[in-house]
């Protein structure tokens, strides 16, 4: 006779996810993910569409070859050389003691919640924002709190502090610039949030390198703020999405806390070697950023000219409103071999800044769809 638990709700012959004894807060959830389709122009997941330069590839291969000779041994558990290289890249007087890294910034954020979130604790984010935040909260059994934004998805110090005071969270995630809207976040807002809480404040700067040149970032706020964490990634500006390298800068006490929750030897020797080689060529790797900024700014101008309503963006993508039926426009562009992103915001779609030719193909295809795909100005959903 098949064994049973919970009055017959679970049987030995499992046929679906629903029949497994999942934790209550995971039941009914769906995994994070974007469509993975092979199309000529993929502008849906904010990748850097420029390839890694050949000279950098060659040095990465040398580094990987050297690492493979010792791959029978565990890697440096403290990934010391990588932390030193990341500290040099970031500057601001940071040292290896301020740096932590993991397999993508998602794992960095997960480890932060494992250390500072968990049962009985809460995480505040300001929606719409990166959808992985709520998923990471669920995965660590941290209560997710959806805070409000201002018009056009901006976030002022007053609004942010009001939400912090109202909800009293243990951890706060600030996305700067915000994903999926691209809107920048002022240092004044970050400082105000930090002063309004006794909890951990994480500033997710995955797209920091795409901000206007000379713009100060959250790293400048770290001195004297031991509960402030600045998260970064090599996926975007470094064109290293497939390598899965994320990192953070914070007070050394924070990195000590993360050692309590990380898995042993969590960064492979090959990951460390590839990242070290790429960082040694940071100027070459970042040479394409100016071009990407140019294509992003071109999207802002041309989408407005076509009658859509792009939001200001400091990232490598643009969210644009004024779309009559996002799913219809998404499907029409896909039929032309162009993949962008429907992020679930009424009247909006998001497009990554690609190469000049990819951006041209997208804009031409969107223009060819004609006015039937545009909403009237009064129908445009610019804020929720």
pLDDT for residue 22: 86
Rounded CA separation 274/56 (Å): 10
pLDDT for residue 378: 38
pLDDT for residue 364: 98
Rounded CA separation 339/324 (Å): 18
What is the pTM (predicted TM-score) of this model?
0.91
Specify the length of the chain in residues.
384
Backbone angles phi, psi at 357, to 5 degrees: -70, -40
Residue 219 gets which letter from DSSP? Answer: G
| Residue the block writes with tokens 């994070």 | 32
pLDDT for residue 381: 40
Are 228 and 250 spatial neighbours (Cβ–Cβ below 8 Å)? Answer: yes
Neighbours of 379 (CB within 10 A): 13
* Domain coordinates in residue numbering, the chain: 41-50+288-379, 54-281
pLDDT for residue 27: 84
Segments of the chain with pLDDT less than 70 = 1-14, 33-35, 377-384
Topology of the domain comprising 41-50+288-379: 3.90.1150
Task: Identify which of 281, 314, 284 has the alpha carbon closest to the alpha carbon of residue 300.
Answer: 314
Record the tokens describing residue 167, joined without a space.
Answer: 């909800």
Task: Tell me the pLDDT tens digit for each residue of 307-341.
Answer: 999 999 999 999 999 999 999 999 999 999 999 99
pLDDT for residue 7: 45
CATH 3.90.550.10 matches 54-281: no
Rounded CA separation 319/299 (Å): 10
Are 94 and 230 spatial neighbours (Cβ–Cβ below 8 Å)? Answer: no
Rounded CA separation 60/277 (Å): 5
């Amino acid at each position: 006779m098949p064994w049973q638990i919970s009055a017959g709700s679970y049987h030995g012959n499992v046929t679906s996810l629903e029949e497994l004894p999942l934790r209550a807060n995971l039941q009914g959830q769906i995994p994070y993910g974007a469509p993975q389709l092979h199309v000529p122009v993929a502008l849906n997941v904010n990748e850097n569409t420029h390839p890694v330069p050949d000279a950098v590839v060659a040095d990465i291969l040398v580094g990987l070859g050297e690492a493979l000779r010792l791959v029978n041994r565990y890697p440096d558990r403290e990934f010391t050389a990588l932390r030193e290289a990341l500290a040099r890249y970031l500057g601001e007087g940071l040292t290896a003691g301020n740096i932590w890294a993991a397999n993508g910034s998602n794992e960095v954020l997960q480890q932060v919640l494992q250390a500072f979130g968990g049962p009985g604790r809460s995480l505040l984010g300001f929606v719409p924002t990166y959808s992985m935040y709520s998923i990471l909260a669920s995965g660590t059994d941290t209560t997710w709190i959806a805070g409000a934004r201002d018009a056009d998805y901006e976030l002022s110090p007053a609004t942010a502090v009001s939400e912090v005071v109202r909800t009293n969270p243990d951890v706060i995630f600030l996305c700067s610039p915000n994903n999926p809207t691209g809107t920048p976040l002022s240092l004044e807002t970050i400082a105000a949030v930090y002063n309004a809480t006794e909890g951990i404040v994480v500033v997710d700067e995955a797209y920091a390198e795409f901000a206007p040149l000379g713009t100060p970032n959250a790293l400048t706020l770290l001195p004297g703020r031991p509960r402030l964490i600045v998260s970064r990634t090599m996926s975007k500006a470094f064109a290293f999405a497939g390598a899965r390298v994320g990192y953070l800068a914070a007070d050394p006490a924070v990195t000590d806390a993360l050692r309590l929750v990380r898995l042993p030897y969590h960064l492979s020797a090959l990951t460390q070697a590839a990242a070290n080689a790429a960082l040694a060529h940071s100027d070459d790797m970042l040479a394409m950023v100016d071009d990407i900024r140019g294509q992003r700014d071109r999207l802002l101008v041309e989408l407005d000219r076509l009658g859509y309503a792009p939001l200001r963006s400091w990232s490598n993508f643009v969210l644009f409103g004024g779309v009559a039926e996002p799913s219809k426009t998404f499907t029409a562009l896909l039929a032309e071999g162009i993949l962008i992103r429907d992020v679930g915001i009424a009247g909006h779609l998001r497009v990554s800044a690609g190469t000049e030719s990819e951006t041209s193909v997208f804009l031409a295809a969107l223009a060819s769809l004609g006015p039937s795909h545009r909403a009237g100005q009064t129908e445009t959903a610019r804020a929720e």
